[in-house]
Amino acid sequence: MRDEVLEFLRQNQGGFVSGQDMSDACHVSRTAIWKHIKALRQKGYKIESYTKRGYRLLEEPDLLSPLAMKQILDTDVFGKRYVYMDTTESTNLEARRLAQQGAEEGTVVVTEEQVAGRGRLSRGWYSPFGKGLWFSIILRPDFAPADAPKCTLMAAVALTKAFHKMGLVDAGIKWPNDILVNGRKLVGILTEMSGSMEEVSHIIMGIGVNVKTKQEELPEELKHIATSLLMEGVDIERTEAFKIILESLEHQYYEILDNGFEDTLNEWRQLSVTLGADIEVRAPGNTYEGVATDIDEDGNLLVRTPDGTIKRIVAGDVSIRSRQ
């Protein structure tokens, strides 16, 4: 009902629409219309009202509502089912619940705010209201479970290409799941698989993108390690950024389904800020220093240590010390 009221206002943008006309069309009372107008105002919509003239929409907030995205999103599968929430604990948790209930591939779960956003190793992810893109996508690929971790690399490639399209050409990938700009974190990716040794039931691809956050709004512990599109000079509406990102993710995903991972891994190499750098790797039970030389066909990081040994890193935290 609220979407119908909003659509009435949009269709008469710049002009007034009477409460009576809306109540007649929606088959509800004028009091109900007023309550929906009040709720829209609380969400940031600027709506004028005058006795005997009605309501006029002046300005819309930058919300990721289904109606706003439906008007601009050009995808075949991603976002055709679009689950939108003002706030949630974690979009990955919500997407997992939906996937277990049989939600179709390409289902997008997005929220304006996460109160318990998660990154790798169960770390928290700062997800304030209206400042970023906090979302998860349900995938049901027909490939081996061993290939599932490479979806993180696929997502990183798609996101980095999307940022380049927005004009942020300094964005690059840090293995395994971060996108950095000048050493600061712009994006985190958390990929979780459910299935057996033989087949993938579903993959939840969780992504957090800092879009509108300002330097002074970051928690103290993040001020020197995080960034946002706005902080990097890209002042873009979140809806437009989301459109570009979802379209890029869908294109890259169907590229790997149609042609395998080889081309995407080569793109990852080209977009990486890890390869060729002096790094420290904190892996389970060990810490290594060396030069990141490549990734293998499974997406694992290859590191040449000072004694010339090549270490294959399946999981771990990477700190980039310098570029060669």
SS (H, E, C) the chain: CHHHHHHHHHHCCCCCECHHHHHHHHCCCHHHHHHHHHHHHHCCCEEEEECCCEEEEEECCCCCCHHHHHCCCCCCCCCCCEEEECCECCHHHHHHHHHHCCCCCCCEEEECCECCCECHHHCECCCCCCCEEEEEEEECCCCCHHHCCHHHHHHHHHHHHHHHHCCCCCEEEECCCEEEECCEEEEEEEEEEEECCCCEEEEEEEEEEECCCCHHHCCHHHCCCECCCCCCCCCCCHHHHHHHHHHHHHHHHHHHHHHCCHHHHHHHHHHECCCCEEEEEEECCEEEEEEEEEECCCCCEEEECCCCCEEEECCCEEEEEEEC
Q: Are 298 and 304 in contact (CB under 8 A)?
A: no
In the chain, domain spans? 1-59, 66-271, 277-320
Domains 66-271 and 277-320 share a fold: no
Please state the rounded mean pLDDT for residues 232-240. Answer: 97
CA distance 272 to 263: 14
Burial label for 182, CB within 10 Å (0-12, 13-18, 19+), is exposed
Query: Please, what is the average pLDDT of the chain?
Result: 91
Which CATH number among 3.40.50.150, 3.40.710.10, 3.30.930.10, 3.30.70.2190 corresponds to the domain 66-271? 3.30.930.10
* pLDDT given at position 101: 97
284, burial (CB in 10 Å: exposed 0-12, middle 13-18, buried 19+): exposed
Q: Per-residue pLDDT averaged across 315-322, rounded? A: 83
Q: Which residues are annotated as a binding site for biotin?
A: 90-92, 114, 118-120, 185
Supply the pLDDT for residue 1: 73
pLDDT in the model for residue 114: 86
pLDDT for the residue 324: 43
pLDDT band at 122 (very low <50, low <70, confident <90, very high): very low
pLDDT for residue 276 is more than 80: yes
Query: What pLDDT is attached to residue 121?
Result: 41
* pLDDT value of residue 135: 98
Tell me the C-alpha distance between 311 and 282, whole Å. 12
Query: Are 310 and 304 a contacting pair, CB within 8 Å?
Result: yes
One of 3.90.226.10, 1.10.10.10, 2.30.22.10, 3.40.640.10 is the CATH number of 1-59, namely 1.10.10.10
Rounded mean pLDDT, 300-308: 95
Mean pLDDT, rounded, for 231-258 = 97
Q: How confident is the model at residue 222 (pLDDT cuts 50, 70, 90)?
A: confident
Q: What is the pLDDT of residues 259-273, one digit of tens each?
A: 999 999 999 999 999
Nearest Cα to Cα of residue 141 among 201, 216, 96: 201
Binding-site residue ranges: 90-92, 114, 118-120, 185
pLDDT per position as a tens digit, 198-215: 899 999 999 999 999 998
What pLDDT does 125 receive? 61
322 has pLDDT over 70: no
Q: Which architecture, in CATH terms, is 277-320?
A: Roll (2.30)
Tell me the whole-structure pTM to 2 decimals.
Answer: 0.82
pLDDT over 90 (residue 4): no
Res 13: pLDDT = 75
